[in-house]
Amino acid sequence: MGQRGRPRGRQEQAPRKSRHIGAWVVTVLLVGVLGAGGLFVYRAFTGGLSSENCTATGADGQSSQISNERMANAATIAAVARAKSLPERATIIALATAEQESKIQNLTGGDRDSLGLFQQRPSQGWGTKDQIMDPVYSTGQFFHALLNVNNWESISVGKAAQDVQRSADASGESYGQWEEMATVLATSLDAKSGTSLTCSYNDPKAAAETPGSNGLTPRATAVGQALVKQFSANGAGSAPQYSHTGDGLTLRIGSSNGLFDPHVVADWAVASAKNLTVDKVQYADQVWTRSSGKWKSASPVAAGTVEVSVVKGG
């Protein structure tokens, strides 16, 4: 396929590096203020965070706080990895790569003809522009290339990413520097023991909707379509099954014979809540609501089921 990733010269790397240095200076100061067990907070390169943001906390207590848009894209990457039955390390490598290339944003442009989360280039055989701008497709392409890297599971995160992207940084250090952040995001989205994921969103002021012929409102339909597309990697794997409530606002997502961990699906729904206008997510005896932005105890739902409700509007 030739040179897979976008080649980046010194001219582009310099400002990118300076932004990273600034972010790490902020991090060091925060850790110093908060103590040895402090908070690892990564702020968007545009400066600060709005009231809408997500916080992923790893099992070791380290946290990463990023914007909703970026967390939704991270959740898509993790969902595609799960659909392909890939180990968590694949998700970590992909997230570290996307952070370096695009700040985990689905960019419409970049160096030369680079596009999307991984800044893949149509001219280098990654796909058409429209395909690359589909995060599920571009993530699938990244994983396809990663699986062709020798010993990708045992070599360093930076080296594995570099062998896929083939950037100007032969050492892979530009990708490797994001391993800690990527690990926090990946383990949280994978619902590992001791991790957590919370997201806060503003009121979307959405209009009321009525159910369509499928029994779901358009917003609930969008949730179902995204769920199936991402967790089956565009049909490459088994899709989650779901039913719905009579009002068409809530999807009841089953565990699909144990293929999908309810906690993982619940975290995916919370991470994607801004784009999909989700209002409430519940599994077991835990419920997240848009108004609180936190997980709280509640009366349990059916075992192995996740209930995802969209904003009713009005």
Please report, in tens digits, the pLDDT of each residue of the chain (314 residues total): 334 444 333 223 333 444 444 444 444 444 343 343 334 444 433 334 467 999 999 999 999 999 999 999 999 999 999 999 999 999 999 999 999 999 999 999 888 999 999 999 999 999 999 999 999 999 999 999 999 999 999 999 999 999 999 999 999 999 999 999 999 999 999 999 999 999 999 999 999 999 999 999 999 999 999 999 999 987 777 888 999 999 999 999 997 656 789 999 999 999 999 999 999 999 999 999 999 999 999 999 999 999 999 999 99
91, with CB counted inside 10 A (0-12, 13-18, 19+), is buried
Query: How far apart are alpha carbons 56 and 199 in whole angstroms?
Result: 9
Closest CA to 53 of 35, 74, 22, 33: 74
Look at strands 53-57 and 295-297 and give their pairing.
unpaired
Q: DSSP label at 238?
A: P
Alpha-carbon distance 23 to 310, whole Å?
A: 35
Sign of CA dihedral 15, 17, 20, 25: negative
Whether the CB-CB separation of 122 and 271 falls below 8 Å is answered with no
CATH topology for the 10-200 domain: Lysozyme (1.10.530)
Question: Domain residues of the chain, as ranges?
Answer: 10-200, 218-310
Distance separating alpha carbons of residues 56 and 42, to the nearest angstrom:
11
**Residue 305, amino acid:** T
d(CA 304, CA 256): 9
- Model pTM? 0.84
User: Are 66 and 199 a contacting pair, CB within 8 Å?
Assistant: no
